A and B are shown apart, each in its own frame.
Chain A
């Protein structure tokens, strides 16, 4: 999408934090996909490459001629030190569980200390971390104090490259409001937790801004004594500096020549890199990452089906032979049959009563229900005749056909 690849102009600031007239197009590297997973992986591998091997002495624990006493001596079968006359004799030896024995799996120097990383992966991670350094949210979330800097990515005139006094460097950092980041470094100075203290890694501090230069004309000397500040040539960018800890979003201060060189070093998508052989920037998986706009887009909405807001849930089965409503749902004619059955019973009962009454001569006292029954029968007769008169063809429900059952 065009807007995602818009390349705005970045103004170059002088070392006194004034806008110089010049501005540079944002190098295309800053539009590369930001993949923290790739960066993390590559960083993890890379950081193993500066390791120094450690191992125990290869003889450790084996400089005895111990032998097991075997069975029958009421002692464990561990090899024991020969001879006599000293505490050591008869003590267990060789095993990792023994005092003075060798450890389990003694560490070896030929452990694979270093890792190789595919060139393309290395470059991908680098490019990702450069891109992330241009996103203020990511830089802030990494913890850098970039509230007051004039612009991100921060590009500064090449005058900075010729600083050779630390004083100049400090004044410069103050002027462009990067000093708070350095102050944060000062405040974060503390002792390392753990045994590293006694292994020449006593003190720990945060990382501050990274200065990337095109040509070192004394810049390194000026900035090297400021705690937290790192300095790096644009031709030799390292992931360990750009994404310290494997996390993207370092605060980077570019000099103008360094910034301009980026397009040539990493290429744009339309033209490959001129410095690196056969390299072009990685293509992102999504060209348009504006998710909220995508989800509202007409083109996408049209193809989706309507959302199912009311899921159909399982209905409890009610026995239709007992539950009238359930029966009527399945078979509407059941109402007719039930009604007929009830009426038939009532009729039979009534008839029997009348017969008995006639037989015994006792006048029948009809119950309320029986009276109502007779009235109902009368009403229905009239209703049927009326409907028959209105519509002779369709005789509706209560058919008075003699259902002899």
Chain B
């Protein structure tokens, strides 16, 4: 935008911007560096410095977080083992005394939709929608309480459900885990995805292991954790179904199959 051309046909105004006006006003000095260039240099250097600082800080933060995640994962491994041995210990103890140990009722269920879209009665349809089971072979984690148990009873012929063990939960989340990020189904490829979605509130769930722990032990933020997980899209089971149209206890497939859901999930995940 410099008007260096000599005017054969002079422009109507010798329009020099303030950049050129910064030139040496008097005498025959060489033209100084235009102000815009100086400003740009200053800005650029400032940005570079800032970038280096933030990169350093980010690196330190990442390292700290990684250590924290390691520690948490270690703690959970211990915790799961402890729980398992605890159940066994209590059962044994009771047997020794000639008593009976009744373990607590399951808190977590995994529900899989068995049947397709068509010919579903409206009440059942609504319940399935509420469970986010909108497609055949979709699965979700559900906290078991009176409300959800009754809901499961309503949609019983269309779902099969049971109590997943740790291996099932881990496999589901690691292999088929997708999160809901800004309304989109994003694969869980990094702990940052989970941290941004769930960890900003109180830092209780910042990695996949935290998520698994929250789901498996139905923690205080189970609702948010399981809602963050997009409904699992599972395969049809290798080896097939027994009979989708009857209840599990009748030799079919739908309804509560308690612990044997795990065998099914091995074939579906």
Contact = CB atoms under 8 A, between A and B. Distances in A.
Partners in one complex: yes
Given A26-B12, A147-B8, A333 B17 contact: no
Interface stretch (B70-78, B107-115, B148-156, B257-265): B70-78
Contacts of A315: 187, 189-190
A146 B43 contact: no
8 cross-chain pairs, A with B, having the tightest CB-CB distances, nearest first = A333-B73, A317-B187, A330-B208, A320-B174, A8-B13, A332-B70, A315-B189, A6-B13
A193 B40 CA distance: 58
B14 to A, nearest CB: 7
Interface residues of B, number: 35
A134 B207 contact: no
Given A26-B12, A320-B174, A293 B17 contact: yes
Interface in B1-33: 1, 8-17, 19
Contact of B9 (A4, A6, A136, A298): A136
Interface residues of A, number: 42
Tell which of B40, B43, B174, B175 has the most Cβ of chain A within 10 Å. B174
30 contacts: A3-B13, A3-B16, A3-B17, A6-B13, A8-B12, A8-B14, A10-B12, A26-B13, A30-B12, A146-B9, A147-B9, A152-B12, A153-B12, A293-B17, A298-B39, A317-B188, A329-B189, A329-B190, A329-B191, A330-B174, A330-B188, A330-B207, A331-B73, A331-B207, A331-B209, A332-B73, A333-B70, A333-B73, A333-B77, A333-B209
A60 interface: no
A278 interface: no
Contacts of B17: 3, 290, 293
Contact of A151 (B10, B69, B207): B10
Contact of B174 (A147, A319, A333): A319
Interface of B is mostly: helix
A321 interface: yes
Tell which of A8, A152, A318, A332 has the most Cβ of chain B within 10 Å. A332
A161 B73 CA distance: 97
Nearest to B15: A3
B9 A296 contact: no
Interface string A295-331: 0101001000010000000010111110000110111
Contact of A293 (B11, B19, B40, B81): B19
A292 interface: yes
B242 interface: no
Interface of A: 3-4, 6-8, 10, 26, 30, 134-136, 146-149, 151-153, 290, 292-293, 296, 298, 301, 306, 315, 317-321, 326-327, 329-334, 336-337, 405
B175 A326 contact: no
Interface of A is mostly: loop
Contacts of B9: 136, 146-147, 149, 151-152
A306 B11 CA distance: 37
A321 B209 contact: no
B47 interface: yes
A148 B9 CA distance: 7
A306 B47 contact: yes
Contacts of B40: 296
